[in-house]
Amino acid sequence: MKFGIVARRDKEEALKLAYRVYDFLKVSGYDVVVDKDTYEHFPYFNERDVIPLEEFDVDFIIAIGGDGTILRIEHMTKKDIPILSVNMGTLGFLTEVEPSDTFFALSRLIEGEYYIDERIKVRTYINGENRVPDALNEVAILTGIPGKIIHLKYYVDGGLADEVRADGLVVSTPTGSTGYAMSAGGPFVDPRLDVILVVPLLPLPKTSVPMVIPGSSRVDITLVSDREIILAIDGQYYEYLPPDVEITVVKSPRKTKFVRFTKEIYPKYTMKIKERH
């Protein structure tokens, strides 16, 4: 069994815990590699075990951080590697265990007392080309000029679904429904469902409403306004695009895999939503 370790880079407690996990697994006789960025912020790991995240080829990744750490892993790894996530963030919608339970969770993982929770992602094509990361949470099309709305049309499976004047448009997975999409007025969607959400950002008029469509659907977005936009993937990747761009969003063939020790959805998610608000 081979493990990879990735930690939140801006929090010393996360880096120290990552080293303790690394030491525990090495002493236990397992092969372990460490993310290069983690090492650069805490250079106490054996340098021979340090590789770029893009080159991880392991059985499990131990992610010590918040949702941002998980999203970084998902954007950079080339394989769908199961992630055991330790919460060193804020709410941690995606994380599984608290820091105090880290070594108990590792023992259960090693003993095979877990299951794999698979989450859908969405893939973005820009003028027919896929050159940006898949999104675990959402793809957001945003106005390139703060204070100026954009005018766009979006089509679902070839049919015009809506013409929107708004600050932007969010195309979200069920996992992302607790993030940007919810802030824009979208619903909480059970992460076990195979659906896609389309949520306008502050539309004018307010007759443009959030939609939930089948996960097999295709969303095509074209701009009517002659204004540059920003494409944002999971709040991690940003790119300015010209107004004549055509954007397509579909379900990705890849999935995110989480190591879980319980199949509980409720009240975990609903309680975290209440904590945030």
> What rounded mean pLDDT belongs to the chain?
94
Annotated binding site: 67-68, 72, 137-138, 148, 165, 167, 178-183, 202, 236
Q: What pLDDT, in 10s, does the model give residues 208-225?
A: 999 999 999 999 999 999
In 46-149 the beta strands, taken as DSSP E runs, fall at 50-51, 60-65, 83-87, 115-126, 138-143
Of the CA atoms within 13 Å of residue 28, those in its CB half-sphere come to 17
Is 1.10.10.10 the CATH number for 121-253? no
Strand 2-7 and strand 60-65: pairing? Answer: parallel
Whole-number percent of the chain with pLDDT over 90: 86
User: Under 8 Å CB-to-CB from 183, ≥6 apart: which residues?
Assistant: none
Tokens 């608000």 sit on residue: 277
Tokens 């945030």 sit on residue: 276
Mean pLDDT over 40-64 rounds to 97
pLDDT at residue 271 greater than cutoff 90: no
pLDDT at residue 275 greater than cutoff 80: no
- DSSP summary character for residue 135: B
Q: Is the peptide bond before 191 cis (omega within 30 degrees of 0)?
A: no
**Hey, is 230 helix, strand or coil?**
strand
Strand partners, 212: 197
CATH of the structural domain 2-113, one choice from 3.40.50.1000, 2.40.110.10, 3.40.50.980, 3.40.50.10330: 3.40.50.10330
pLDDT interval class at 232 (50, 70, 90): very high
**Hey, is 148 helix, strand or coil?**
coil
What gap in Å lies between CA 64 and CA 87, rounded to an integer?
A: 6
pLDDT interval class at 276 (50, 70, 90): low
Q: What pLDDT, in 10s, does the model give residues 31-47?
A: 999 999 999 999 999 99
pLDDT interval class at 16 (50, 70, 90): very high
Q: Which of 35, 67, 117, 220 is catalytic?
A: 67
| Amino acid, single-letter form, for residue 40 | E
Structure tokens at 8: 């939140």
What gap in Å lies between CA 75 and CA 237, rounded to an integer?
A: 9
Strand partners, 65: 87
Mean pLDDT over 109-117 rounds to 96
Strand 168-172 and strand 219-223: pairing? Answer: unpaired
Biggest alpha carbon–alpha carbon distance for the chain: 62
The dihedrals phi and psi of 13, each to the nearest 5 degrees, come to -60, -35
pLDDT at residue 89 greater than cutoff 90: no
pLDDT interval class at 91 (50, 70, 90): low
The answer to whether 14 and 7 are in contact (CB under 8 A) is: yes
Report pLDDT for 117: 96
Annotated binding site for NAD(+): 67-68, 72, 137-138, 148, 165, 167, 178-183, 202, 236
Residues of the chain with CATH 3.40.50.10330: 2-113
pLDDT at residue 253 greater than cutoff 80: yes
Residues of the chain with CATH 2.60.200.30: 121-253
Mean pLDDT over 254-265 rounds to 92
Report pLDDT for 277: 57
What gap in Å lies between CA 226 and CA 204, rounded to an integer?
A: 18
Of the CA atoms within 13 Å of residue 173, those in its CB half-sphere come to 25
Report pLDDT for 137: 97
What gap in Å lies between CA 210 and CA 169, rounded to an integer?
A: 10
67 is catalytic: yes
**How far out from the chain centre does Cα 177 lie?**
11
Query: What are the residue ranges of helices labelled H in 176-264?
Result: 180-183
Q: What pLDDT, in 10s, does the model give residues 165-222?
A: 999 999 999 999 999 999 999 999 999 999 999 999 999 877 799 999 999 999 999 9
pLDDT interval class at 123 (50, 70, 90): very high
Report pLDDT for 266: 81
User: Under 8 Å CB-to-CB from 62, ≥6 apart: which residues?
Assistant: 3, 4, 5, 6, 18, 21, 83, 84, 86, 106
What gap in Å lies between CA 144 and CA 117, rounded to an integer?
A: 36
